[in-house]
Structure 1
Amino acid sequence: MSDARLSGRCLCGAVTFTAVPEHGMHACHCESCRRWSGGVYLSVDCGDSLEVADPAAVGTYDSSEWADRQFCRTCGSTLFWRLKAGGITAVSVQAFDDPGAFAFKDEIFIDSKPANYAFAGDRPRLTGEEVMAQFSDET
């Protein structure tokens, strides 16, 4: 990805933002992301580059000891997953103005994926244990 700042918004437009995506698109199949987003959560890591025009329009759900999830307070759109320690903000691909701009990088929590769907193509597919090991390697 380039260092281009991209824009996006929620469904109703109450939340507008810009961010600099660092890598390609991730598909998360964990149970929490599936329940939160209504399906697989497609996101791009934007590090700490996220800038929201009106932070008061964003609601936060404290979803675990180490992460929270953010949404539009008006329309409920799924928007951001954030690591509480900082450094990772996974922004919903569908909230960007051009969701087709991102290459499909990997799938995570593949061992939690329901059997009734699968994405075509070859890419890294990491289990939940492999993903969590990456987090512990970074600390």
Structure 2
Amino acid sequence: MKGHCLCGSITVELEDINTFEACHCSMCRRWGSGPLMAIHSNSEVTFTGQESMTVYQSSAWAERAFCNKCGTNLYYHQLGAEGYVLSLGLFQDHPNFDFASQIFVDQKPSYYEFANDTENLTQQQLFDKFADKGIRPQD
């Protein structure tokens, strides 16, 4: 599966993933002016054009990256974790996505609503799900 930023300076390649989620947390909404629509990759992700990538630590536990030429949001990455949460917009040539879940629904503002039938998790429910897998996310 291949994708790229708006200007094409950065490309990303990873295994095929067919599901995505929307994150309604306040940081994602501030970062992209709406919920982050993203795919999760727990395997190797290959980036080319990294000289056009700006990575910054957005919290004590995570970093985010964007193209410093066109401004496209690229990913959210929890420090010390293997996987990446990649912006769905990078993969517009991939036609078969399934809207699987929404997270931080307790932080979603009332001015928008998705009609899709998805799994909906609050912040606490999401953190409990991670705890069940032995992962302790930061709040």
> Shorter-chain TM-score category?
0.7 to 0.9
Secondary structure of 2:114's partner?
Answer: coil
- Give, in angstroms, the shift of residue 120 of structure 1: 0.6
- What amino acid is the match of 1:101? N
Would the aligned equivalents of 2:18 and 2:96 in 1 still touch at CA under 8 Å? no
Q: Distance in 1 between matches of 2:47 and 2:64?
A: 15
- What amino acid is the match of 1:124? E
Once the two structures are superposed, the pairs formed by residues 112-123 of structure 1 within 5 Å of their partners are 112-123=107-118
Cα 1:21–1:92 shift into 2, 3 Å: farther
Asked if residue 74 in structure 1 is aligned to residue 105 in structure 2, the reply is: no
TM-score, structure 2 as length reference: 0.88
TM-score, structure 1 as length reference: 0.88
Would the aligned equivalents of 1:22 and 1:47 in 2 still touch at CA under 8 Å? no
- Give, in angstroms, the shift of residue 130 of structure 1: 1.4
Give the equivalent residue in structure 1 for 2:82: 87
Give the equivalent residue in structure 2 for 1:3: none
Would the aligned equivalents of 1:23 and 1:45 in 2 still touch at CA under 8 Å? no
Asked if residue 136 in structure 1 is aligned to residue 127 in structure 2, the reply is: no
Q: Distance in 1 between matches of 2:27 and 2:80?
A: 19
For structure 1, which runs of at least 5 residues remain unmatched after alignment?
Answer: 1-5
Report sequence identity in percent. 33
Deviation sequence 1:45-66 (CA, Å, 0-9, x none): 0124210012222111201122
Q: Which runs of 4+ in 1 moved over 6 A?
A: none
Which of the numbers 96, 102, 105 marks the counterpart of 1:107? 102
Give the equivalent residue in structure 2 for 1:12: 7
- Give, in angstroms, the shift of residue 33 of structure 1: 0.3
Q: Distance in 2 between matches of 1:9 and 1:83?
A: 21
- Give, in angstroms, the shift of residue 96 of structure 1: 0.9
Would the aligned equivalents of 1:21 and 1:44 in 2 still touch at CA under 8 Å? no
For structure 1, which segment, 60-69 or 103-112, has the greater mean C-alpha deviation from structure 2 after superposition?
Answer: 60-69
Q: Distance in 2 between matches of 1:42 and 1:21?
A: 16
Asked if residue 98 in structure 1 is aligned to residue 90 in structure 2, the reply is: no
- Give, in angstroms, the shift of residue 22 of structure 1: 4.6
- What amino acid is the match of 1:91? L
Structural RMSD (CA)? 1.6
- Give, in angstroms, the shift of residue 136 of structure 1: 3.4
For structure 2, which runs of at least 5 residues remain unmatched after alignment?
Answer: none
Q: Distance in 2 between matches of 1:113 and 1:62?
A: 23
Would the aligned equivalents of 2:38 and 2:86 in 1 still touch at CA under 8 Å? yes
